[in-house]
Chains A and B, each alone.
Chain A
């Protein structure tokens, strides 16, 4: 058999294009369903683990899926905004603890998540380097964000404008990195966490600027009365919050109507959760409450329904490939009749010729298998990132 393998190896090496084509076909047809299966399993694991650890989410009425994906995975699809009254409602119910989430803005393709310190406790997020959020304008980076952007505590990161075409839009905010999280192998690794108020500053609801009452530049003042001073657009707003200008930052309007994307609701117990869900079933409210586990189950059902269709397609393509490979071998047998005739004339039996062909198939399967294993290893290694990029989203930068 070793001699047959040697001859088959020489033949395969001599006919590189044919061998490479066959190996590519076999590898592809094996890798496709296996990697799809692996990615779906990983997506199921990620979706379920995250969903199971998040009891309830309150958000604006609309797509429960968008709401869940934005709250749990900081997906780019921002659901309709709600206001801080939603948080107050949960507090007043006395049935659960609310954790507001405002995942709308981005910094260098990673989501900026405005929340409170309760979020870190709720998710069990540990600070690997630096310290937690303390002051307006600070941020804590997920492990992947820090690694990919090469940022450490003491560095800064600038928020991205929502659109470059909005000349009247808000200025980017330069945020100080004060901490980096331990890797959690979840969407938290891919987020830039800021205090809720910092997120509102990014939006322009809060800002800091020179005290117009004390300004020495008269061209900045539009109108001055005994009670108030009105500045014009010349007044420059700060784009970075520092110790020196921190006190000048302030918010306008009613903080109760400041926007957030959702509220993670942590009921005191199962009963409280059930009561709370009942309350939100009331059609009069503009909020909805969703149980992420249920949403994910529905999503997975759809995904696996699509997977079944894909499996059937891959099976058909696989059969077609096997037939094509059989045809290639049948045709190559015709082309190799002279060569096989020579081998036969030299004294080779038909069984040995069959063994030579079997050895060629074995080599192709072996090389394809090795390639397949290598590719599966790569897919497995990057499955977490791939799942977040392909299935879950969230503006993942794989570069």
Chain B
């Protein structure tokens, strides 16, 4: 599903360089990424999602070379094939839960908002236990409910790859397991691949594989 070769990336204004020689993640694999803060875990997710472009090397998602796609192509790939769950939910405070979940459909022509999509959104929220909160604004939700809504937003377009950036980072232990259960369940149902950044070592046994970022060469700027 994901193939990375000789990846090089650095932020122009920061003392940071990410270097990944080779990394492969198989379809339907659930992979956790761990490592110290600032080691480039989030940067890796952004590179895979096509939000950032590498200096050198190759990133393939489902045999598509993300690094060689134009901006529009990367956006389309991201919105149709990749679901992103952010650490701090990143729900839009002026939209209610349903509108937040449907938001990707309203900001791009690559996804079509149909009655079937709305039906699936309702089903998804029911399974996530937030059906009764559809008309509520994010400020009226608990942390767990917010993350469930964010997961619904990521899953609704039925992506083949789900990137989760510390999706359980802001949650209490009880909610952490619940959210992870729901995420794993949905990933299994959608036959998707999961690449999740986490700091929580208690959750690691639940993943198929763990990638420790200390294995990669992370150096200061040359």
Please give the residue numbers on chain A whose beta carbons come within 8 Å of chain B beta carbons, in ascending order.
Answer: 3-4, 6-7, 10-11, 13-15, 338-339, 342-349, 352, 356
Contact A349 B104 (CB under 8 A): no
Bound-complex Cα distance A3 to B117 (A): 15
Contact A345 B108 (CB under 8 A): no
User: In which size bucket is the chain B interface?
Assistant: 20 to 34
Number of A-B contacts (CB under 8 A): 62
Bound-complex Cα distance A6 to B113 (A): 13
Inter-chain contacts of B107 with A (CB < 8 A) = 3, 7, 343, 346-348, 352, 356
Inter-chain contacts of A348 with B (CB < 8 A) = 75, 107-108
Bound-complex Cα distance A344 to B51 (A): 8
- 8 A Cβ contacts from B83-126 to A: 84, 86, 90, 92-95, 99, 103-108, 110, 113
Bound-complex Cα distance A343 to B105 (A): 11
At the interface, yes or no: B66 with Cβ under 8 Å from chain A? no
Inter-chain contacts of A349 with B (CB < 8 A) = 71-72, 75, 108
Inter-chain contacts of A15 with B (CB < 8 A) = 94
Contact B75 A342 (CB under 8 A): no
Bound-complex Cα distance A6 to B105 (A): 12
Bound-complex Cα distance A15 to B137 (A): 13
Bound-complex Cα distance A352 to B46 (A): 20
Contact B113 A347 (CB under 8 A): no
Inter-chain contacts of A6 with B (CB < 8 A) = 106
Bound-complex Cα distance A6 to B96 (A): 12
Inter-chain contacts of B104 with A (CB < 8 A) = 346-347
Bound-complex Cα distance A3 to B108 (A): 9
At the interface, yes or no: B29 with Cβ under 8 Å from chain A? no
Contact B94 A347 (CB under 8 A): no
Inter-chain contacts of B78 with A (CB < 8 A) = 345-347
Contact A13 B103 (CB under 8 A): no
Please give me the 10 A-B residue pairs with the lowest Cβ-Cβ distance, nearest first. A347-B79, A14-B94, A3-B106, A348-B107, A342-B90, A347-B78, A11-B94, A347-B75, A346-B104, A10-B94
Residue among A11, A13, A346 with most chain B CB within 10 A: A346
